[in-house]
Copies of this chain bind each other. A is one copy, B any other.
Amino acid sequence: MRKPGQVFLVGAGPGDPELLTLKAVRLLGCAQAVVYDRLVSAEVLALAPPLARMVPVGKAPKVHPVPQEQINEILIDLALDGLTVVRLKGGDPLVFGRGSEEVAALNAAGIPVEIAPGITAAQGVAAATGVPLTHRGLANGLRFVTGHCRDDRPLDLDWPGLADPDTTLVVYMGAANIAEIAARLTGQGMPASLPVLAVASATTPRERRLVSRLDRIADEAAAAQFSGPVLFVIGRVVSLYQSCPAEILAMLAARPVQEAAYA
């Protein structure tokens, strides 16, 4: 039996190929097989050697062409063939990426795994739009949740805990459920006028942005008919967006600025 290969679990970042890390580029350049998700761009895939075996296992919301268990099997089989395998995921493999499930399956099969982090979508959105994820006086912390349910089950989130106006709330995979999310947050006392930034396909040439408020985001995002993944940033930091509507800026100016807990 051959010596098994190794699997590198690599974050491809939010979209812009220049946001790959040096480590991701090096590992891609050594790959003999690349197992990649739907959101990884052609420009990034082009960094793999011409003879590498390219294996798409794209997942879309509510469509799983390749179930997770089968992805695990593909990775194990390629590594047992002695190949150096790069498992390439959009964003960061350990932030809503199910990367740790693949690590567990590979570990159980005795295959060495190394992880390379990637810029996650929230960071791409922040850098592209200038909306910070934390800011003294506007947000002293940061929270990431997913707005996507498995198997059409209801969203099961800690709504009272999420309704914290001093924390920036970032919703991944929330396009289908943003109406419910916004309604639940206002139901817990978040101001209807709280600004919301929605960005589709952030850091790519197809990027589209919308600045709205909690009570209008669902209608306005639906009207925008975004394609590609949409990220929602909910919180007072959105007031720092360069072209934030004047009514939102006025609402924030009327509110006394709190001193945040960090230096």
- Enumerate chain A interface residues (CB-CB to B < 8 A): 13, 16-23, 25-26, 59, 61, 64, 92-101, 103-104, 113, 115-120, 123-124, 126-128, 130-136, 140-146, 148-151, 153, 155-158, 160-162, 164, 166-167, 173, 237, 240, 259-263
Contact call A124/B117, Cβ cutoff below 8 A? yes
Contact call B263/A100, Cβ cutoff below 8 A? no
Q: List 17 A-B contacts (CB under 8 A).
A: A17-B22, A18-B21, A22-B25, A59-B263, A61-B263, A94-B131, A94-B134, A100-B237, A101-B135, A115-B128, A117-B124, A134-B146, A140-B156, A148-B261, A149-B261, A157-B261, A158-B167
* Interface core residue of A16, A143, A259 (most chain B CB under 10 Å): A143
Contacts of A95 in B (CB 8 A): 123, 126, 133-134, 142
Contacts of A101 in B (CB 8 A): 135-136
Complex Cα distance A125/B70, Å?
A: 28
Contacts of A93 in B (CB 8 A): 127
Complex Cα distance A151/B193, Å?
A: 32
Chain B min CB distance to A90 (Å): 14
Q: Which residue of B lies closest to A101 (CB)?
A: B136
Closest 5 CB pairs of A and B: A100-B132, A146-B262, A161-B161, A117-B123, A94-B132
